[in-house]
Every structure is written in C-alpha cells, then in structure tokens.
C-alpha cells in the first residue's frame, strides 16, 4: 500500500516494508509479483494482509540450475553442503543460528527444504546441515487451524492486478 490508502504499488517497480528483514526491500521476480498481487487483492477485498513471503529465485545456466531462497545479506556463518566439484551442492547462510538463505546448485531437495525452514525461522544444527547425506528437514504437516487462511477467493483479482490472463482453452482442440 502506498501513502494513498487507495493506491497499491506491486511488482518489480516497488520496494516494500519487510517484517521478515526489518527494512524495505525491492525484489525482481515472478513469484514476488504474484504474491504481492495476492496480498494487494486481499487488502482491496477487505481482508487485511501483511506481505511477508520468503523470496525465491532461479536461473538455468547451461547444465546448472541455480535456486536461491531467502536473502543472504548480513549472514555470519555459511555452511557448505556437498562438493562444488560434483556440480550439485548448496550454500546455507545463517545469522545468529537462524537459516536465512540457501543457494542450491543442481540440488532441488535442499532448495525445497530450505523454503520451509526459512519460513519457520528454523535454527538447524550446523554440523547436520553440513552433512550432505542428511536430510535438512522433515516438517510435520500443520494442523488445519495453524495453516494460512484460504485466500483462493482473491485469485482472480490477483491475476487481474498482475496482468495475467489464463487462456480459455489452453490445449489446442480442447472444448
């Protein structure tokens, strides 16, 4: 939301206050644009919602898939998982024991686990984190009362705000 309560700025063009990082941040990613659109749509529809998603990014560089979750600024410890010579490894960034970011190269399992860990502000054991054979996390499924509220009613508004239109018949020849 801008200083005008009736105007929202979302996507690559804006910076926004981040409760997670305690400062204003600007992110250029498709996921961030979609998530900000959902947050704006929820607020427009009268459901006060704070935008506080863990950012993530990806890039394919020839035979390497780079996946990043979180922002690694201001880390005080980095833990390497795996061997960079194998071309499948991860760098885990911690601040005061909390996992704040992870860079995964050809290691999607670490990336997916870190998304959950970072969202939960987890403090994994650095020795276990360094063990490339160990599973980073096993997150129990939250109880229904602990899950995020269902905001499916804002999907259409979020897509409209983000300028996304779904084709009526995405498969050629489909009715």
pLDDT of residue 166: 45
pLDDT of residue 88: 93
Give the DSSP H or E segment for 61: strand 56-61
- pTM given for the model: 0.72
d(CA 150, CA 167) in angstroms, rounded, equals: 24
pLDDT of residue 107: 92
pLDDT of residue 102: 96
Structure token pair of residue 119? 């969202």
pLDDT of residue 137: 55
Count helices and strands in the chain by DSSP H and E runs: 4, 7
pLDDT of residue 149: 46
d(CA 53, CA 66) in angstroms, rounded, equals: 20
Residue 97 · residue 123 · CB < 8 Å: yes
* Average pLDDT by stretches of 10, the chain with 175 residues: 81 82 85 87 88 89 93 93 94 94 94 92 90 67 44 46 48 49
Q: Between the CA of residue 96 and those of 19, 26, 75, what are the distances in Å?
A: 17, 24, 8
Residue 103 · residue 114 · CB < 8 Å: no
Q: Between the CA of residue 47 and those of 43, 124, 134, 154, what are the distances in Å?
A: 5, 34, 41, 10
pLDDT of residue 86: 94
Give the CB-side neighbour count of residue 21, counting CA atoms within 13 A. 22
């Amino acid at each position: 939301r801008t200083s005008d309560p009736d105007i929202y700025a979302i996507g690559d063009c804006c910076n926004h206050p981040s409760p997670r990082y305690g400062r204003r941040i600007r992110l250029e990613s498709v996921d961030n644009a979609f998530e900000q659109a959902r947050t704006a749509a929820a607020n427009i529809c009268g459901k006060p919602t704070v935008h506080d998603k863990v950012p993530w990014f990806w890039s394919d560089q020839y035979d390497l898939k780079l996946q990043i979750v979180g922002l690694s600024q201001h880390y005080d410890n980095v833990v390497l998982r795996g061997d960079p010579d194998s071309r499948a490894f991860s760098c885990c960034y911690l601040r005061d024991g909390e996992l704040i970011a992870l860079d995964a190269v050809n290691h999607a399992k670490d990336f997916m686990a870190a998304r959950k860990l970072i969202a939960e502000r987890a403090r994994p054991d650095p020795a276990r984190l360094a063990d490339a054979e160990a599973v980073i996390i096993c997150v129990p499924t939250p109880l229904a009362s602990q899950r995020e509220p269902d905001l499916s009613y804002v999907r259409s508004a979020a897509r409209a705000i983000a300028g996304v239109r779904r084709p009526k018949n995405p498969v050629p020849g489909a009715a």
